[in-house]
């Protein structure tokens, strides 16, 4: 929260909350810099939700001191979107319907039933964001926020090994010296080291992780991808206070949008699906968290099974047409269509 110091007494908070902050030694907004909501709640003896509110209000006031940023033209927006770098999935069909891959500076949400491949896709992207620039990649690193405990290190090892082998073969076949040097510098260990893993066990830790991300990204400027797997887990129907849930989700959406735009990182959210009953008593699967969450993502992709094949459908996007692509989970990771086996010619027997 860099900027002029603001007195805590001037923040738009309840008098009792301002008093507690002062008693704990917080006099200005500068005293709140670098502290997370969990630590602030513990120090001031307030709830984590109150701590998040304090940090949010202080941050907003700091931003107001700097004035409103200038408007951008539609041409500038178009050029930025066209220049957005993309992270491939290693499935050409899926990359094609995604406009070339996962776009930086945007939020992409994948929704689907358990086992359809959401975590596999998240791990694949965390590896693929590290593809060197010589191959058209971002040469970045990834932040992986795991809310369900589903991240598998063994699977990350397999996918990283496969990616290294693929790039080395491609470089050898191309004869391009820059590609060969880039591929030789990659290794399983370097790829695993560039996946920054956070395990969050409840909604407070999840919010705290998001609150600390701006500072983390400042310290790790190579981060070009943030994966949250899943955004839903700690906010399911067993979350008792629905009004609080709505406020927290709105805050998370705003934080993620700002991170994606300000830091030009790709934000990928994994979401679960839930059963919805329509007026004619028909049931269908819809993304979890309800309609109020639907606006959070720039693009929303539904993952589903069709005839024992995994499919991805572009459900919502401001610029991508609604299309479906098949993808497969192989020992090497996410891949495209499997090559069809050629039918053996029938035996030709001599007549008679």
Residue-range domain boundaries for the chain: 8-65, 78-335
SS3 141: strand
Residue 281: predicted pLDDT:
67
What mean pLDDT do residues 283-310 have? 87
Rounded Cα–Cα distance for residues 203 and 20 (Å):
24
The yes-or-no verdict on residue 341 having pLDDT over 70 is no
Please give the residue that has the higher pLDDT: either 329 or 253. 329
For 78-335, which CATH class?
A: alpha beta
Burial class (CB in 10 A: 0-12, 13-18, 19+), 258: exposed
For 8-65, which CATH class?
A: mainly alpha
Distances (CA, A) of 329 to 7, 37, 120, 177, 187: 54, 38, 8, 32, 22
Non-local (6+) Cβ contacts of 308 within 8 A are none
Q: What is the pLDDT of residues 119-177, one digit of tens each?
A: 999 999 999 999 999 999 999 999 999 999 999 999 999 999 999 999 999 999 998 99
Q: What is the overall mean pLDDT for the chain?
A: 85
What mean pLDDT do residues 20-40 have? 83
The yes-or-no verdict on residue 13 having pLDDT over 80 is no
pLDDT band at 78 (very low <50, low <70, confident <90, very high): low
The yes-or-no verdict on residue 64 having pLDDT over 50 is no
What mean pLDDT do residues 315-333 have? 94
Residue 1: predicted pLDDT:
44
Phi and psi at 90, nearest 5°, equal 75, 10
As given in the structure block, the two tokens for residue 346 are: 């029938």
Nearest CA among 85, 67, 70 for reference residue 133: 85
Residue 200 DSSP code? -
**Percent helix / strand / coil, the chain, rounded to 5:** 45, 20, 35
The yes-or-no verdict on residue 4 having pLDDT over 90 is no
Residue 74: predicted pLDDT:
76
Residue 66: predicted pLDDT:
45
8-65 and 78-335: same fold? no
Q: What is the pLDDT of residues 234-292, one digit of tens each?
A: 887 667 787 888 888 888 888 899 899 888 899 999 999 887 776 666 777 788 887 77
Which of the residue ranges 209-213, 309-313, 343-347 would you say has the lowest mean pLDDT? 343-347
Sign of CA dihedral 211, 51, 4, 253: positive
């Amino acid at each position: 929260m860099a900027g002029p110091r603001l007195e805590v007494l001037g923040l738009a908070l309840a008098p009792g909350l301002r008093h507690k902050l002062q008693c704990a030694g917080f006099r200005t907004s500068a005293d709140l810099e670098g502290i997370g909501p969990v630590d602030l709640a513990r120090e001031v003896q307030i709830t984590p939700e109150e701590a998040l509110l304090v940090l949010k209000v202080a941050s907003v006031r700091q931003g107001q001191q700097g004035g409103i940023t200038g408007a951008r033209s539609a041409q500038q927006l178009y050029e930025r979107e066209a220049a957005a770098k993309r992270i491939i999935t290693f499935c050409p069909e899926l990359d094609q319907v995604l406009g070339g891959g996962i776009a930086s500076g945007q939020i992409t949400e994948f929704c689907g039933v358990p086992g359809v491949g959401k975590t596999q896709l998240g791990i694949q992207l965390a590896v693929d964001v590290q593809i060197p620039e010589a191959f058209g990649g971002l040469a970045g690193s990834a932040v992986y926020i795991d809310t369900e405990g589903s991240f598998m290190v063994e699977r990350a090892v397999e996918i990283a090994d496969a990616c290294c082998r693929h790039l080395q073969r491609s470089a050898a076949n191309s004869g391009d010296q820059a590609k060969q040097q880039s591929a030789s510098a990659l290794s399983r260990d370097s790829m695993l080291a560039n996946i920054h893993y956070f395990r969050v066990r409840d909604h407070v830790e999840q919010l705290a992780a998001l609150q600390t991300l701006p500072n983390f990204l400042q310290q790790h400027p190579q981060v070009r991808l943030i994966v949250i797997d899943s955004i839903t887990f700690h906010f399911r129907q067993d979350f008792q206070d629905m009004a609080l849930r709505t406020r927290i989700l709105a805050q998370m959406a705003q934080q993620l949008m700002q991170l994606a735009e300000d830091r030009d990182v790709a934000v990928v959210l994994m979401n679960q699906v839930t059963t919805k009953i329509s007026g004619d008593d028909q049931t269908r699967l819809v993304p979890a968290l309800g309609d109020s969450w639907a606006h959070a993502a720039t693009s929303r992709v539904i993952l589903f099974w069709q005839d024992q094949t995994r499919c991805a459908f572009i459900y919502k996007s401001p610029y991508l047409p609604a299309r479906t692509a098949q993808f497969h989970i192989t020992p090497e990771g996410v891949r495209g269509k499997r090559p069809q086996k050629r039918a053996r010619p029938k035996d030709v027997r001599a007549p008679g």
